Structure 1
Amino acid sequence: MDVLIVGAGAMGRWFGEVVGDKGRVAFVDREEEVARETADAVGGRTISERTTERFGIVCLAVPIPAVERAIALYAPLADRAIADVSGVMRAPVAAMETHAPEREHVSLHPLFSPENAPGNVPIVAGEGPAAEWIRERLRGAGNALVETTPEEHDVAMETIQTKAHAAVLAYALAADDVPDGFETPVSRELDGLVETVTDGNSRVYADIQSTFPGAETVAEAAIEIAEADRESFEALYREAGE
């Protein structure tokens, strides 16, 4: 099946490698050199942003703030299905219903960076041939599909992304330098998490923080712990363990 991927960054390349057939996947990106490099890497080709060529599947692999507009622009090029790997689901699924009502809709969110693939992939999709074709390719690459709804997914992201990232970054900002040899299993794990989170793209993390609420509850919990007396702290400790 011919596939067009809008956005030739890490997620676009991942989708092309896993779902696209060599010679039948095309990329379009505002940065033409990035599109060429990605297309060469996966055995695909590049096309112009002004193309009118049609494809079986059109996949949007663009940043969260751009996904709704990209769906509106590129939905007319999809013959069978339109998909996205933006990381949010309610907004793109609604945009697909508006701009491609007669096509299959597939929203995916790989819960890993491409270099850590395969892994869990939440998916919202119907029971059409294109959706099943995508499912088969994802499973064939070793991924575990998590069938979900847009609402369930986006609420979950408030905890596993926004709150988790806020907690790790807050620790990094609050931590002081300590002499070598002063570490515990807990601090060692936290330092590793800081390295993982900060070895990414700040824009991507900012998009997540802007899209999904939850960071303020982490701050509120930290204040509650800091201000607790001994009895209250022990109660909070037990609550956290539950």
Structure 2
Amino acid sequence: MEVLVVGSGAMGRWAGRTLVSARAPPTDIAFADRDLAAASAAADAVGGRVVGLDTAENFDVVCLAVPMGVVREAVAAHADRASRAMVDVTGVMADPVAAMRDHLPDRERVSLHPLFAPENAPGNVAVVRDAPGPVTEEVLDAVAAGGNHTFETTPEEHDTAMETVQAGAHTAILAYALSAAGVREEFATPVSRDLSELVETVTGGTPRVYREIQGSFEGADAVADAAHRVADADGDAFEQLYEEAGNHARRNRGGNADDGTDGTGGAGNVDGTGGTGEPGA
């Protein structure tokens, strides 16, 4: 299988590594990026090669690992190079799926979102099989062979979820960090210590990746509104919010929100040069 990965950052390298390691003989993989040094480093890391963004070559599958804000343009620019299929690992789904439908109506189309930074792989990978076929199934088999858990979703469900688990979560963590400035470490409680570790995780990433997430998904306002509800509540109203929050948490884990038991169920360069960030951050 011949693969072109557009975007030579962390997620592009993850995609290349995942596809190469799952095949014997290895996949013929090429990287394209405006930053030729990044493309060369990615190719060296996975045993691939470098091609120009304007290459005339065709590939069985084109994998887009570009920033969320430029994915529509990337689909349009590289659709003709995908002879059989296109996939993306950008971290947003409605935009790439819609663009791929427009520009690749007769080819296989799948959108993926690895819900982790590449250095934390393997993990959960959200999947939209918009127009599946043998090539995209081979890609998904390679993702699963890398130890990842894939699960089906829709573009709408995915992007709505990201408003909470990415934009909302990051807002809450950064707001706590800003409000905790100047508090000595000796005053830490078990809860605040855990929050401080989350702050280090978020602020240890790439600012432009988090900026793009906040710009792509709503969710910050919902956290701000919830914080105001807590701040304004007293007495019984606070206890009701406390119980409401606990019920939401148990329900999200698959547990019973009434009895409190657990259930048994279960990014890139801003200038568009390549995916150097952590879409699953």
- Paired with 1:16 and 1:180, the residues of 2 have a C-alpha distance of 42
Shift of 1:23: 6.1
Q: Is it true that 1:144 corresponds to 2:133 in the alignment?
A: no
Amino acid in the other structure paired with 1:212? F
Aligned equivalent of 2:266: none
- TM-score w.r.t. the length of structure 2 is 0.84
Q: Is the 8 A contact 1:23 1:45 kept in 2?
A: no
Counterpart secondary structure, 1:50: coil
How many residues were matched structurally? 242
Shift of 1:178: 2.5
Give unpaired runs (5+ residues) of structure 1.
none
Aligned equivalent of 2:234: 229
Counterpart secondary structure, 2:151: strand
Amino acid in the other structure paired with 2:121? A
Which deviates more from structure 2 when the two are superposed, residues 146-155 or residues 16-25?
16-25
Amino acid in the other structure paired with 1:174? S
Q: Which has the higher contact order (CA 8 A, sep 6+)?
A: 2
Among 213, 221, 242, the alignment partner of 1:216 is 221
Summarize deviations over 1:16-45 as a string: whole Å, max 9, x none.
Answer: 000136461000001110100110010000
Counterpart secondary structure, 2:185: coil
- Structure having the higher helix fraction is 1
Among 200, 203, 208, the alignment partner of 1:198 is 203
List structure 1 segments (4+ residues) > 3 angstroms apart after TM superposition.
Answer: 20-23
Q: Is it true that 1:73 corresponds to 2:73 in the alignment?
A: no
Q: Percent identity?
A: 55
1:73-152 maps to which residues of 2 (within 5 A)? 73-125=77-129, 126-152=131-157
Q: Is the 8 A contact 2:3 2:27 kept in 1?
A: no
- Paired with 2:5 and 2:181, the residues of 1 have a C-alpha distance of 44
Which deviates more from structure 2 when the two are superposed, residues 84-93 or residues 16-25?
16-25
Which deviates more from structure 2 when the two are superposed, residues 3-12 or residues 125-134?
125-134
- TM-score w.r.t. the length of structure 1 is 0.97
Q: Is the 8 A contact 1:5 1:60 kept in 2?
A: yes
Shift of 1:135: 1.2
Aligned equivalent of 1:38: 42
Shift of 1:70: 0.5
